[in-house]
Amino acid sequence: MRLAFEQPLRRSHTPTNGSGVQGPRASAPTLQASVRARPAANSPWFAQATFLRYLRSERQAPWNPDFTYSFGYQSFAPGTWSLVYANSTGTRLHPNRAAGESRWNFSQGEWSIAHRFALPASVRDAMLVGDGDDATCVVQGHWMRRYTVATGGGVQGNKKFASLGCRYTRQEGLFTHFTAFAYPERGQQQPWDPDFTYGFGWSPPGTGGLTIQYNNYSGNRFPWRPHRPGEGLLSSGSVMLEWIMEW
């Protein structure tokens, strides 16, 4: 089980970049509760649901979900493969069908296949201190059967992109992560789709406990590419407190 409070740092609370059931992350603070179920304690098979409560409900945009869900086969050990379906679109617990809302938006969810790996020994020797620090990376291919287009608000199909991310951890619990994305068909990338994401924080060694972190999953752009207003800034990220309990 996971309980969390997330506080966005956006200065503007007027949504401008989203369309349909897809868009930037919420500008309202949220309380979140997640449950992850597995058939056995160490099984890589899982199903997970996260429910969100917006403390400023008037700031919940059509693409900000009431809940998110995912399922699949996932391992966090180096040298393993994962296959996951995840949906964080504008899902609604009580959808207004007349307004075009849906409970699941299944066709606009994201499928991903991932391979997790440790850094090669030569890279580890050059980049890591060696006093208990560690780094693992994951390369992923992503596919969405249907996706919303910002310009015109239509829906198109067969969105494909790839990512490469690494997470660096210190033995005292400090961590940082960075992921870069590539879109073979540049026209499929929407304003809220990032060139890269990043974050940092602290979590207690081991599993469970209280974590504090900053994350930025906004429409970040590399320096040579322009970003949309409200996207790709340090203030486009959020601060999160979360508590995880294994049971």
Please report, rounded to a whole number, the percentage of residues in the chain having pLDDT higher than 70.
98
Burial class (CB in 10 A: 0-12, 13-18, 19+), 222: exposed
| CATH among 2.40.160.40, 3.50.50.60, 2.60.120.380, 2.30.29.30 for 2-244 | 2.40.160.40
Per-residue pLDDT, averaged over 156-182, amounts to 96
> What is the model's pTM?
0.93
Main-chain phi, psi angles of 59, to 5 degrees: -95, 0
Tokens of 97: 């069908």
For residues 223, 226, 229, 233, the Cα torsion angle rounded to the nearest 10 degrees is: -10
Residue ranges of domains in the chain: 2-244
Quick check: 39 pLDDT over 70? yes
Q: How far is CA 17 from CA 20, 21, 235, in A?
A: 10, 12, 16
CA distance 186 to 205: 40
Judging by DSSP bridges, how do beta strands 30-37 and 238-244 pair with one another?
Answer: unpaired
- Look at 6-15, 95-104, 116-125, 183-192 and tell me which has the smallest mean pLDDT: 6-15
Main-chain phi, psi angles of 224, to 5 degrees: -85, 0
Residue 45's SS3 state is strand
Question: Who contacts 206 (Cβ-Cβ below 8 Å, separation ≥6)?
Answer: none
- Look at 55-69, 125-139, 230-244 and tell me which has the smallest mean pLDDT: 125-139
Cβ neighbour number for residue 69 with a 10 Å cutoff: 18
Q: Residue 50: which of 22, 10, 86 has the closest Cα?
A: 86
- Look at residue 56 in the predicted model and tell me its pLDDT: 92
